[in-house]
Amino acid sequence: MGREQQQVSYTVKQLVSVNPYNPDILSDLENYVNEQVSSQTYSLDANLCLLRLYQFEPGRMSTPIMVQILIKALMAMPASDFSLCLFLIPEQVQMQEQFKTLIVLSHYLETARFRQFWDEAAKRRSILEVVPGFEQAIQAYAIHVLSLTYQKVPRTVLAEAINIEGLSLDKFIEHHVAISGWVLEKSHGHSQLIVLPRNEFNYPELKKHTTDGVPFEDVTRIFPILS
Amino acid sequence: MASSYDYDDASLDSRYARPPSAGQGGAGTDQGYDPNFVPDSVKTFVVHLYRHIREKNVYEIHQMYDGSFQRLSDRMFRESPWPSVEAIAPYVDNDHVFCLLYREMWFRHLYARLSPTGRQRVESWDNYCSLFSVVLHGVVNMQLPNQWLWDMVDEFVYQFQSYCQYRAKLKNKTEEELQLLRQYDQAWNVYGVLNYLQALVEKSAITDVLEREKEGLEQFTATDGYDYEGGTSNVLKMLGYYSMIGLLRVHCLLGDYHTGLKCLAPIDISQQGVYNVVIGSHISTIYHYGFANLMLRRYVEAIREFNKILLYILKYKQYHQKSPQYDQILKKNEQMYALLAICLSLCPQNNLVEENVNSQLRDKYNEKMTKMLRYDDEAYAVYDELFTYACPKFITPSAPVLEEPLTNYNQDAYRLQLKLFLYEVKQQQLLSGVRSFLKLYSTISVGKLAAYMEVDEPTLRTILMTYKHKMHAVDGDGKIIPNADVDFYISEDIVHVVESKPTKRYGDYFLRQILKFEEMISELDRIKLD
């Protein structure tokens, strides 16, 4: 079964790169969306191809498929896939209830309003449940934004961002201490601080100063002089 | 050459329902235009052009195509079409391919000087289909100037865009026009357009050629795509090359920026290449590349490329003053300044814009840029205005629904892109305020900054995270690219500001001085003092 699935997605990828402007592949692409959802994989190119074909053949648009594509795009954040998909969906369609909900959710994520996001997501479980892995993907995005911003983040801020509290949060933090190099500290006010791993965004000293580097070819120009 | 026009092309209305061969042209055609009358100068023109093509004399072809054709058009065909292809065919041995080429020029002239009727648009589509089919079958054995080959692809995409606009305005169409749309529903269909461009790219194997060139196995850029020695045809290869740019353009018109950039990917725009040999292709490439990056939020990349091309145009536009492309060059120039103004307002940078370009930019848009940075209602109006002025003419690709009620929906695509763009601007509303504060401090507590910005602490934290998110774009490989000139990090409760200062290029400076002194020393050594 797994082998067959692999073959199907290989064929779809080929279709998208070799013969994308062809209405006959529309149903293959729709099946592929369902497959992405069930096997927790993702292909922006294939989904954009499908949205383009919907543009060319508005009569064949499928709202459930488009909703799935948008949810998958949300899960790809911080990449701007969600906007890329919206550019291809007609305005009247975006006025429909499900699309408006997703746009609101995207807005909260884009503006780092995590508390509002999780509140709204809880109210719209039915729409989001169809795509497994949604929660984890958003939590990964939240941690990404925190890692860009903080060297040391207060526990409360982390809790709000990933929507986990109490014992589950303890376990979550433990897991990342082991796997991702997080470190626990006590702040002045005796509340927990999580020290996030160093990267060039929260530790600017680490930013490679590429502009001051000199390309090797230029240095070779003075080799005759040096010898 | 595609003529520039306002967003809503006013000249596309239903007055020109009759084809010119009926003799009674609309206001655009000269009274008494006889398609069968061939003036002597045209006779000479086609005979010579035909001969030069057969002899593969690319230089002469270029002179005739760029020079004589324009001069004759100006002198004799200001407001009427050239003689019909049937009339000139006898002078060129009824050569099939030459006639297709002539017809392509014929329609291009019509679009530029007059207004095509619905029927003429369909006929032009047929001509392109025949022409491209012949090329794709590999039976065209000629070398044509790059300018001509670029113009073909450019015009093909332009006529497609124009047709989509035309058929989306149904309200005032006559019954005859509607009947034409029903009958020729395959004309300029989006699948056809995209598949022809794709086929040209594939059949020419141009991506392989470019790959092999990188490894030094093939000459392409060095000879501008021509084959001076062997004289093999450059038509398919160059049409394939230019079709990559054509695909980028069509995808931008559809709103699919990601795929557009992918289509352009085989061309490395950080290097000189065939794309900048013809100025029209250079400008079109960078304009669409920059626009796509703007919509993908890769502001720094867009600014860099706009800066380069605007500097180039500043330096070299004087050499193109006499060329028929001059107006279009100027128009795109102005549009790119507008896009640059937008990018710099969304993502202020200090060192990416060259001095002369910057002073031009300030001349044109200083006031508007100040307004945009304020992010109030007036600011959105300015963003709206500049976007509308500078954006491509987005299209609705699907076939029209030709039943009542007939509406004009040609602006729908544009309105969607504008709406989403302004939505993005709105999301970045508070970032400008953060930036100004960050520039004033090296460290500041979250609480104090929140007080200054008149928001509560949790809100400030979200604003700071938004700043970080928006100022770090994700490129095609999934890498995070920082875009901001002012950056920060938070340690518990304190915001530490990091301003990226332009690093002095000591290494470069020392190398230059070393070489200079070495030269001086060897010169001195040569002087013999007696």
Q: A211–B518: do the CB atoms touch at under 8 Å?
A: no
pLDDT in tens, B42-74: 999 999 999 999 998 999 999 999 899 999 999
Q: Which of A149-158, B192-201, B283-292 has the lowest mean pLDDT?
A: A149-158
B504/chain A closest Cα distance in angstroms: 7
**C-alpha A165: how far from chain center:** 23
B474 contacts in chain A (CB < 8 Å): 78-80
* B381 Cβ under 8 Å from any chain A Cβ: no
Q: Can you give the pLDDT at residue B131?
A: 96
Q: Whose CA is closest to B411, among B4, B9, B3, B14?
A: B9
Give the best residue of A17, A83, A192, A203 to mutate against chain B (max B CB count within 10 A): A83
More confident call, B138 vs B262: B262
B465/chain A closest Cα distance in angstroms: 6
Q: B259–A58: do the CB atoms touch at under 8 Å?
A: no
Give the best residue of A43, A149, A218, A223 to mutate against chain B (max B CB count within 10 A): A149
Q: Can you give the pLDDT at residue B341?
A: 96
Q: A145–B417: do the CB atoms touch at under 8 Å?
A: no
For chain A, which residues make up each domain, given as ranges? 1-132, 150-212
Name the 3-class secondary structure at B228.
Answer: coil
Residues present in chain B in total:
530
B446 contacts in chain A (CB < 8 Å): none
Q: B498–A204: do the CB atoms touch at under 8 Å?
A: yes
Q: A56–B262: do the CB atoms touch at under 8 Å?
A: no
Q: Is residue B225 very low, low, confident or very high in pLDDT (cuts 50, 70, 90)?
A: confident
- pTM (predicted TM-score): 0.88
Judge if ipTM > 0.90.
no
- The single-letter code of the amino acid at B498 is V
Q: Is residue B125 very low, low, confident or very high in pLDDT (cuts 50, 70, 90)?
A: very high
Instruction: Show which of residues 182-221 on chain A sit within 8 Å of chain B, judged by CB atoms.
Output: 187, 193, 201-204, 209, 211-214, 218-219, 221
Give the best residue of B465, B477, B512 to mutate against chain A (max A CB count within 10 A): B465
Q: Is residue B164 very low, low, confident or very high in pLDDT (cuts 50, 70, 90)?
A: very high
B493 contacts in chain A (CB < 8 Å): 154
More confident call, A90 vs B475: A90
| Neighbour tally for B265: CB within 10 Å | 13
Spatial separation of the C-alpha atoms in residues A131 and A167, rounded to whole Å: 26
Q: Is residue B401 very low, low, confident or very high in pLDDT (cuts 50, 70, 90)?
A: confident
Instruction: Show which of residues 104-123 on chain B sit within 8 Å of chain A, judged by CB atoms.
Output: none
Q: Whose CA is closest to B33, among B86, B77, B91, B90?
A: B77
Instruction: Show which of residues 231-270 on chain B sit within 8 Å of chain A, judged by CB atoms.
Output: 254-259, 262
Is a pLDDT exceeding 60 seen at residue B104? yes
Q: Can you give the pLDDT at residue A134?
A: 94
The per-residue b/e assignment along B24-41, b for 16 or more CB within 10 angstroms, e otherwise, is ebeebbeeebebeebeee
Alpha-carbon torsion B402, B407, B410, B411, what sign? Answer: negative
- What CATH number should be reported for the domain whose range is A150-212? 1.10.10
Spatial separation of the C-alpha atoms in residues A212 and A214, rounded to whole Å: 6
Spatial separation of the C-alpha atoms in residues B372 and B368, rounded to whole Å: 6
Spatial separation of the C-alpha atoms in residues A203 and A207, rounded to whole Å: 8
The per-residue b/e assignment along B162-196, b for 16 or more CB within 10 angstroms, e otherwise, is bbbbbbbbbeebeeebbebbeebeebbbbebbbbb
For domain A1-132, the CATH class is mainly alpha
Structure tokens at B97: 């391919």
Q: Is residue B31 very low, low, confident or very high in pLDDT (cuts 50, 70, 90)?
A: low
B258, B297, B420 ranked by CB distance to A86: nearest: B420
Spatial separation of the C-alpha atoms in residues B233 and B137, rounded to whole Å: 13
A113 contacts in chain B (CB < 8 Å): 462
- The single-letter code of the amino acid at B166 is Y
Spatial separation of the C-alpha atoms in residues B440 and A169, rounded to whole Å: 37
B415, B416, B468 ranked by CB distance to A149: nearest: B468
Q: Radius of gyration over alpha carbons of chain A, in Å?
A: 23
pLDDT in tens, A51-89: 999 999 999 999 999 999 999 999 999 999 999 999 999
Give the best residue of A56, A104, A160, A209 to mutate against chain B (max B CB count within 10 A): A56
A209 contacts in chain B (CB < 8 Å): 503
